[in-house]
Amino acid sequence: MAAHLKDWAVRSALAFLLFPWLLGHVGCAQNIPTAKGPGSYLAVGGGVSAFQVDYGQRVLGGAVLFDNVNPTWRIGFEAEARYLRFNQSEDVTETSYLVGPRVMLKPGPLRPYVKFLVGAGNINLPFHYAHGTFLCYAPAAGLDYLVNDRVTVRLLDFEYQLWPNVSTYGELRPYGLSAGVSFRLNPARHIPSTAYRSRWR
Protein backbone atom coordinates (compact mmCIF):
# COMPACT_ATOMS: atom_id res chain seq x y z
CA MET A 1 0.00 0.00 0.00
CA ALA A 2 2.79 2.42 0.92
CA ALA A 3 4.63 1.72 -2.34
CA HIS A 4 1.42 2.30 -4.30
CA LEU A 5 0.87 5.70 -2.64
CA LYS A 6 4.47 6.70 -3.24
CA ASP A 7 4.19 5.82 -6.93
CA TRP A 8 0.91 7.71 -7.14
CA ALA A 9 2.53 10.79 -5.56
CA VAL A 10 5.42 10.73 -8.03
CA ARG A 11 3.04 10.41 -10.99
CA SER A 12 0.91 13.22 -9.61
CA ALA A 13 3.90 15.54 -9.26
CA LEU A 14 4.99 14.91 -12.83
CA ALA A 15 1.47 15.33 -14.16
CA PHE A 16 0.81 18.59 -12.30
CA LEU A 17 4.14 20.09 -13.34
CA LEU A 18 3.95 18.95 -16.97
CA PHE A 19 0.31 19.92 -17.52
CA PRO A 20 1.02 23.69 -17.57
CA TRP A 21 4.00 23.12 -19.87
CA LEU A 22 1.69 21.42 -22.35
CA LEU A 23 -0.83 24.25 -22.05
CA GLY A 24 1.92 26.77 -22.56
CA HIS A 25 3.26 24.95 -25.60
CA VAL A 26 -0.14 25.08 -27.25
CA GLY A 27 -0.93 28.59 -26.06
CA CYS A 28 2.38 30.10 -27.12
CA ALA A 29 2.15 28.45 -30.51
CA GLN A 30 -1.28 29.96 -31.13
CA ASN A 31 -0.79 33.37 -29.56
CA ILE A 32 -0.06 36.36 -31.77
CA PRO A 33 0.87 39.49 -29.80
CA THR A 34 -1.12 42.64 -30.61
CA ALA A 35 -0.70 46.33 -29.88
CA LYS A 36 -3.19 46.04 -27.03
CA GLY A 37 -1.40 43.53 -24.84
CA PRO A 38 1.62 41.28 -24.37
CA GLY A 39 2.04 37.76 -25.65
CA SER A 40 1.71 34.54 -23.67
CA TYR A 41 4.51 33.23 -21.52
CA LEU A 42 5.69 30.16 -19.63
CA ALA A 43 7.70 30.35 -16.42
CA VAL A 44 9.15 27.81 -14.01
CA GLY A 45 10.25 28.56 -10.48
CA GLY A 46 10.85 27.47 -6.93
CA GLY A 47 11.08 28.77 -3.42
CA VAL A 48 10.59 28.13 0.27
CA SER A 49 7.44 27.68 2.34
CA ALA A 50 6.41 27.81 5.99
CA PHE A 51 3.02 26.28 6.81
CA GLN A 52 0.99 25.96 9.98
CA VAL A 53 -0.13 22.35 9.67
CA ASP A 54 -3.48 21.56 11.22
CA TYR A 55 -2.37 18.16 12.52
CA GLY A 56 -0.25 18.77 15.61
CA GLN A 57 -0.47 22.58 15.32
CA ARG A 58 3.13 22.93 14.20
CA VAL A 59 4.90 25.11 11.62
CA LEU A 60 6.62 23.00 8.96
CA GLY A 61 9.12 24.39 6.47
CA GLY A 62 9.99 23.12 3.05
CA ALA A 63 10.37 23.71 -0.67
CA VAL A 64 7.86 24.58 -3.37
CA LEU A 65 8.15 24.15 -7.15
CA PHE A 66 5.75 25.90 -9.50
CA ASP A 67 4.91 26.51 -13.17
CA ASN A 68 3.05 29.51 -14.58
CA VAL A 69 1.34 29.49 -17.96
CA ASN A 70 -0.30 32.71 -19.13
CA PRO A 71 -2.11 32.80 -22.50
CA THR A 72 -2.45 36.56 -21.76
CA TRP A 73 -0.73 38.78 -19.22
CA ARG A 74 -3.74 38.69 -16.91
CA ILE A 75 -5.24 35.18 -16.97
CA GLY A 76 -3.28 31.97 -16.69
CA PHE A 77 -2.68 28.72 -14.84
CA GLU A 78 -0.39 27.66 -12.03
CA ALA A 79 0.77 24.23 -10.89
CA GLU A 80 2.72 23.68 -7.70
CA ALA A 81 4.31 20.87 -5.75
CA ARG A 82 5.09 21.58 -2.09
CA TYR A 83 7.19 19.40 0.22
CA LEU A 84 7.07 20.24 3.94
CA ARG A 85 9.82 18.34 5.74
CA PHE A 86 11.66 20.75 8.07
CA ASN A 87 10.92 21.38 11.77
CA GLN A 88 8.86 18.20 11.86
CA SER A 89 7.86 16.45 15.05
CA GLU A 90 7.29 12.71 15.34
CA ASP A 91 7.84 12.32 11.57
CA VAL A 92 4.69 14.28 10.61
CA THR A 93 5.12 15.66 7.07
CA GLU A 94 2.84 17.07 4.37
CA THR A 95 3.07 17.15 0.57
CA SER A 96 0.67 18.71 -1.92
CA TYR A 97 0.28 18.75 -5.71
CA LEU A 98 -2.11 21.45 -6.93
CA VAL A 99 -3.15 23.13 -10.18
CA GLY A 100 -5.66 25.81 -11.14
CA PRO A 101 -6.36 29.27 -12.59
CA ARG A 102 -4.44 32.40 -11.61
CA VAL A 103 -5.52 35.99 -12.33
CA MET A 104 -3.25 39.06 -12.26
CA LEU A 105 -5.02 42.08 -10.75
CA LYS A 106 -2.97 44.82 -12.42
CA PRO A 107 -0.11 45.22 -14.92
CA GLY A 108 3.26 46.74 -14.15
CA PRO A 109 6.41 45.59 -12.32
CA LEU A 110 4.46 44.81 -9.11
CA ARG A 111 1.71 42.31 -9.91
CA PRO A 112 -0.77 41.21 -7.25
CA TYR A 113 -2.66 38.04 -8.09
CA VAL A 114 -5.28 35.62 -6.84
CA LYS A 115 -5.57 31.92 -7.63
CA PHE A 116 -7.64 28.86 -6.81
CA LEU A 117 -5.90 25.48 -6.91
CA VAL A 118 -7.22 21.94 -6.64
CA GLY A 119 -5.32 18.69 -6.29
CA ALA A 120 -4.02 16.15 -3.82
CA GLY A 121 -2.50 16.44 -0.36
CA ASN A 122 -0.50 13.71 1.34
CA ILE A 123 0.14 13.49 5.09
CA ASN A 124 2.37 11.17 7.12
CA LEU A 125 1.11 10.64 10.66
CA PRO A 126 3.37 10.32 13.74
CA PHE A 127 6.12 7.69 13.61
CA HIS A 128 4.87 6.56 10.17
CA TYR A 129 1.86 5.00 11.87
CA ALA A 130 -0.22 5.79 8.79
CA HIS A 131 -0.35 8.07 5.79
CA GLY A 132 -2.91 8.99 3.20
CA THR A 133 -3.62 11.08 0.13
CA PHE A 134 -6.71 13.30 0.05
CA LEU A 135 -8.50 15.89 -2.05
CA CYS A 136 -7.28 19.43 -1.41
CA TYR A 137 -8.63 22.90 -2.28
CA ALA A 138 -6.49 26.03 -1.95
CA PRO A 139 -7.53 29.66 -2.47
CA ALA A 140 -4.46 31.90 -2.46
CA ALA A 141 -3.17 35.39 -3.17
CA GLY A 142 0.25 36.90 -3.62
CA LEU A 143 2.53 39.54 -5.11
CA ASP A 144 5.10 39.11 -7.89
CA TYR A 145 7.84 41.59 -8.88
CA LEU A 146 9.20 41.58 -12.44
CA VAL A 147 12.96 42.14 -12.12
CA ASN A 148 13.55 42.03 -15.88
CA ASP A 149 12.24 40.30 -19.01
CA ARG A 150 13.24 36.88 -17.70
CA VAL A 151 13.26 36.94 -13.90
CA THR A 152 10.29 37.38 -11.55
CA VAL A 153 10.56 37.39 -7.76
CA ARG A 154 7.62 35.99 -5.84
CA LEU A 155 7.66 38.38 -2.90
CA LEU A 156 4.80 36.76 -1.03
CA ASP A 157 2.26 34.00 -1.55
CA PHE A 158 -0.38 33.21 1.06
CA GLU A 159 -2.26 29.92 0.64
CA TYR A 160 -5.11 28.49 2.70
CA GLN A 161 -5.66 24.78 2.07
CA LEU A 162 -8.78 22.77 2.82
CA TRP A 163 -8.56 18.99 3.05
CA PRO A 164 -12.27 18.15 3.50
CA ASN A 165 -12.27 14.39 4.19
CA VAL A 166 -9.23 13.19 6.08
CA SER A 167 -10.48 9.84 7.35
CA THR A 168 -11.65 9.96 10.98
CA TYR A 169 -9.88 13.29 11.62
CA GLY A 170 -12.44 15.31 9.66
CA GLU A 171 -11.08 18.43 7.95
CA LEU A 172 -7.51 19.68 7.89
CA ARG A 173 -6.88 23.36 7.15
CA PRO A 174 -3.16 24.07 6.80
CA TYR A 175 -2.12 27.57 5.73
CA GLY A 176 1.13 29.35 5.13
CA LEU A 177 3.46 31.67 3.27
CA SER A 178 5.87 31.11 0.40
CA ALA A 179 8.46 33.17 -1.47
CA GLY A 180 10.68 32.37 -4.41
CA VAL A 181 11.84 33.21 -7.90
CA SER A 182 10.75 32.15 -11.40
CA PHE A 183 12.36 32.27 -14.84
CA ARG A 184 10.45 32.89 -18.04
CA LEU A 185 11.24 30.51 -20.87
CA ASN A 186 10.18 33.23 -23.31
CA PRO A 187 10.94 36.89 -22.47
CA ALA A 188 8.27 39.14 -21.01
CA ARG A 189 6.72 41.77 -23.20
CA HIS A 190 6.32 45.14 -21.54
CA ILE A 191 2.74 46.13 -20.74
CA PRO A 192 1.68 49.03 -22.97
CA SER A 193 -0.52 51.82 -21.63
CA THR A 194 -3.49 50.46 -23.60
CA ALA A 195 -3.50 47.42 -21.29
CA TYR A 196 -4.99 49.63 -18.59
CA ARG A 197 -7.95 50.39 -20.84
CA SER A 198 -8.25 46.82 -22.20
CA ARG A 199 -7.97 45.25 -18.77
CA TRP A 200 -9.17 41.75 -19.60
CA ARG A 201 -7.26 41.13 -22.84
188 within 8 A of 72, measured Cβ to Cβ: no
Query: pLDDT digit string (tens) for 45-60?
Result: 999 999 988 776 789 9
Predicted confidence band of residue 137 (pLDDT cuts 50, 70, 90): very high
- Cα separation, 173 vs 157, whole angstroms: 17
Predicted confidence band of residue 181 (pLDDT cuts 50, 70, 90): very high
Query: pLDDT digit string (tens) for 112-122?
Result: 999 999 999 88
Over its C-alpha atoms, the chain yields an Rg (Å, rounded) of: 18
Residue 167 lies in a domain: yes
Q: What is the pLDDT of residue 200?
A: 40
Q: Give the mean model confidence (pLDDT) for residues 120-133.
A: 75
Residue 198 lies in a domain: no
Residue 33 lies in a domain: no
Q: Give the mean model confidence (pLDDT) for residues 1-5.
A: 41
Residue 134's domain comprises 2-27+39-192
> Which residues have a Cβ under 8 Å from the Cβ of 36 and sit 6 or more positions away?
192, 194, 195, 198, 201
Domain count, the chain: 1
List the CATH number of the domain containing 106.
2.40.160.20
Residue 157 lies in a domain: yes
- Cα separation, 31 vs 29, whole angstroms: 6
